[in-house]
């Protein structure tokens, strides 16, 4: 099952400095096991552009859609047997301690 894992900042990161996982080791392990299909860091929110169409009019604005202290800073596309495996993969990611990770299964477009 495919999951989008949103990598986000958090206003309350873990303060325990022991056993902080290495992101490069996490990427290498999950790439080798075929559980990480793709992933990357995102540019800062100052580089964001929001696009909407309202009443047939194109509305383009600089910056993110919402003002928030927690932002999406990256993503990973995971391919796991089930949610339990996806949780274990996310648990080992460094941002599970420094930020937060949101796992969301793909629903597929309606026919």
CATH number at residue 75: 3.30.70.1060
Q: Please report whether residue 54 resides in a domain.
A: yes
Number of domains in the chain: 1
Q: Please report whether residue 111 resides in a domain.
A: no
Q: Please report whether residue 47 resides in a domain.
A: yes
pLDDT at 81 over 90: yes
Q: Please report whether residue 62 resides in a domain.
A: yes
* DSSP notation for 49-73: EEEEEETTEEEEEES-SS--SS-EE
Q: Please report whether residue 95 resides in a domain.
A: yes
Question: What is the structure's pLDDT at 66?
Answer: 67
Question: Is residue 4 within 8 Å of 104, Cβ to Cβ?
Answer: yes
Chain segment 22-70, per-residue pLDDT in tens = 999 999 999 999 999 999 999 998 899 989 999 999 999 987 766 677 8
| Over residues 64-77, mean pLDDT | 83
Q: Which domain covers residue 7, as residue numbers?
A: 2-14+22-105
pTM for this model (two decimals)? 0.87
């Amino acid at each position: 099952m495919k999951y989008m894992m949103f990598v986000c900042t958090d206003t309350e990161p873990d303060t325990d400095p022991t056993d902080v996982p290495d992101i490069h080791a996490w990427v290498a392990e999950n790439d080798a096991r075929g559980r990480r299909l793709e992933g990357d860091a995102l540019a800062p929110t100052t580089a964001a552009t929001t696009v909407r169409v309202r009443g047939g009019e194109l509305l383009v604005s600089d910056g993110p859609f919402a003002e928030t202290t927690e932002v999406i800073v990256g993503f990973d596309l995971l391919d796991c047997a089930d949610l339990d495996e996806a949780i274990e993969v996310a648990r080992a990611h460094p941002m599970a301690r420094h930020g937060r990770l949101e796992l969301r299964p793909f629903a597929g477009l309606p026919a």
